[in-house]
Structure 1
């Protein structure tokens, strides 16, 4: 049953971000009848997202600190352009409670959750305490910051090794280190604290039991300001390097047909969202052990990079829903049963990085063409002449394929990767191709230790297929000329 949604009042929505997510938000704004306002800085005059915006505004400056990480400057520009709401995308200020509060105090809607939810869930110690109080299972360890290395050793000996030293205010895989014994805790404690202080301006650490061969399972949730909270099923994000995801799937191949576990983890995510009075799109992340027991890891109070695979299996537009929730509009979702899933979707993050070392590799795009199988989705910010500098996120695109079952999705992704040509810029495409052919991945038999233990990077070939690239380029030019 489809619910007819009322016409929304048009708002002016500024997008405080760039790249593919800014394009994605702009398209959603246009669909809803709002006016998307794009920003461009001194080092991105040809920003691809601007073509989807109705208005363009110059955000003076060239570094992130001068532009997208400058709350006061963004507020000033928003007020000068009579902006009703700001969508932060992901990264930058998307989980910054002070920025959300600054906008709110100036009568501008922050398209994200309420300030208190950002604060609580943005602190790992506080969010873990809330989860425990809500009856959500958490990894054995400390609820609060550990003050000294001696205390960290005492706790580690109590919960048993291996343990994880982890930044209280961490994220993106930084400020985390595994320790197999007491000496490693002693050796790493101060180093992780310094790393955390440099990255997050907070050197406090937690100590947690390290779950061996875990799966990284996350649940997409959405809540509005009317007290409704829904889940959109789970995603598996276990293929990671340096604790950062590169391939995501929905649904999880590890959970598979175990609907009891699926229901349990999704219900748990909703329970946590309600406990913190959540009112936007967000993701509750879990670590799942080999016996399928699961533990709360953290909550991301924003839209995530991998949201497209959830959209593909549910048919729901999460960005549209997120904007509607923030503006107090109707979501058009009568109940949880309204949200169903079908098929299987896989996302590969296309990154400007060395496919073997997996380290960032800035560069200039000198050629870009695609030849994808039917139904492929490619959210990207690529164009010939794009210079990816160290100031840019290395994720330059998200390649998404859906199949009626997982095997079909894998097959389509192989074809899509073979049809994606980026010349000049070093990318992880060769690594992704190797993973999509590797037996353990194809069988859905992998954990967060996959890259380290299976080491697909050791079999990567980095030879660029110039003949195939120019054959595709010739075909594209022929079609443009009507030949």
Structure 2
């Protein structure tokens, strides 16, 4: 029997907000550490605070003034005797400069080592490392392309279509597909400007565009002792504006091809080993219809979609991430110890118009749930929550697990029907259409799903008031024990 040792109690600052801050706070307290939460001027009643042991006011109301303000965060860390910082995802989670400042201050960054963050944060350098490690990469450049003429020359050489991609990009920004020389010339400077504005780096790569691709990623975890494990793959091909909205594990495209699954997972571990990785991370691949796969990028942080991996493996990745950073034993004896069971699907619940898929800020005037068994809801919702344009529109993640994929889909349909958020538009109607789409149900979809299937066009424009009030009555009856 494996026994978890009692470790030194640490003061851990959670440099994030929303559902991931709640998730990290719970993991900190489970391990016996002190969870310290932040709240900003427009998040006085933030839900994650109730799971923290201490609370600190971070003055300001937007990203630049708060969660991206390195000097302010460093001052908070110093004044409150913080031992470690968990960055969650987004914000400063992959910022090697912030990691370096913490290192100088003697504060543990619950993330991989600074050098791994730096190397994998640059798409050109990470591609060079992948090539040296014999990890397959998409045909194209692994250094920045200096001029539009050079971009055209490379594009003509590798063949169209091609992708202009920001060296320092992420989250789907700084990318533009080009089908011919004229489009490369028309887009090169524009993508460079976008990249410079978004990432303070206007350098671009040119890569072959894989047609009808699948976005496959592998969850990995490493400790400070040189052990690196994989936790199988996730399929993240349903995206809008190159940003994921539905993820599932395992991948229906890989299906029962265990040889392919093993190759993809072992390739991810190989890349992590090439940069002496030592935390939770995700290696992302693009996989063609022929099932050939190519390294895309590595996210040196925990991913939004990590819960589906937790559901099929039964291992708490946030707890393991904290243990790794503190130098504690992960209690994983070998790769064979990590097994998978069942199928899990995650839907990102966003304050968005379900038809335009654009952010739709507002105030939550009512919130309730009526979920089936096997449902997990990581969220930051409460009545009177103001969802502002200052932060990401995602307000929760709905996760359903079934013994097989069909069961997981059925449970997700029921869970979406049982999630009530009043006062603002959400993408729930769009997610319902996706769950009932024939190609999705059959597992026949690629990253072109939204463009090809146009599920937004099938979203009901008229609200079904009769159905809503019947469901609301059932919730009230359940509350009253009827």
Does TM, normalized by the shorter one, top 0.5?
Answer: yes
Gaps of 5+ in 1: none
Gaps of 5+ in 2: none
Provide the rounded CA distance (Å) in 1 between the counterparts of 2:469 and 2:51: 29
Which residue matches 2:290?
A: 291
Which residue matches 2:459?
A: 460
Which residue matches 1:11?
A: 10
CA contact (8 A) 1:237 1:247 kept: yes
CA contact (8 A) 2:62 2:391 kept: no
1:209 aligns with 2:208: yes
Which residue matches 2:62?
A: 63
Provide the rounded CA distance (Å) in 2 between the counterparts of 1:63 and 1:456: 33
Per the TM alignment, residue 480 of structure 1 is displaced from its structure 2 partner at its CA by 4.0
Matches within 5 A, 1:212-361: 212-361=211-360
Matches within 5 A, 1:33-48: 33-48=32-47
Which residue matches 2:376?
A: 377
Per the TM alignment, residue 462 of structure 1 is displaced from its structure 2 partner at its CA by 3.7
CA contact (8 A) 1:430 1:462 kept: no
Provide the rounded CA distance (Å) in 2 between the counterparts of 1:479 and 1:363: 28
C-alpha change, 1:482 and 1:441, in structure 2 (3 Å) is closer
Per the TM alignment, residue 482 of structure 1 is displaced from its structure 2 partner at its CA by 4.8
Over residues 82-102 of structure 1, what are the superposed CA-to-partner deviations in whole Å (9 max), with x where a residue is unaligned? 111010000100000011111
Provide the rounded CA distance (Å) in 1 between the counterparts of 2:466 and 2:123: 50
CA contact (8 A) 1:29 1:35 kept: yes
CA contact (8 A) 1:401 1:409 kept: yes
CA contact (8 A) 1:309 1:347 kept: yes
Which residue matches 1:150?
A: 149
Residues matched between the structures, number: 482
CA contact (8 A) 1:193 1:204 kept: yes
Which residue matches 2:129?
A: 130
CA contact (8 A) 1:3 1:333 kept: no
Matches within 5 A, 1:35-114: 35-114=34-113
1:389 aligns with 2:388: yes
Query: Match of 1:311, SS?
Result: helix
Provide the rounded CA distance (Å) in 2 between the counterparts of 1:436 and 1:481: 32
Query: Match of 1:119, SS?
Result: helix
Per the TM alignment, residue 445 of structure 1 is displaced from its structure 2 partner at its CA by 0.3
Provide the rounded CA distance (Å) in 2 between the counterparts of 1:189 and 1:401: 42
Per the TM alignment, residue 478 of structure 1 is displaced from its structure 2 partner at its CA by 4.3
Query: Match of 2:320, SS?
Result: helix
Which residue matches 1:413?
A: 412
Per the TM alignment, residue 465 of structure 1 is displaced from its structure 2 partner at its CA by 3.5
Per the TM alignment, residue 250 of structure 1 is displaced from its structure 2 partner at its CA by 0.2
Per the TM alignment, residue 363 of structure 1 is displaced from its structure 2 partner at its CA by 1.1
Over residues 345-393 of structure 1, what are the superposed CA-to-partner deviations in whole Å (9 max), with x where a residue is unaligned? 0000011111111111111111111111111000001111111111121
Provide the rounded CA distance (Å) in 2 between the counterparts of 1:363 and 1:204: 37
CA contact (8 A) 1:369 1:472 kept: no
Over residues 429-451 of structure 1, what are the superposed CA-to-partner deviations in whole Å (9 max), with x where a residue is unaligned? 11110011111000000000111
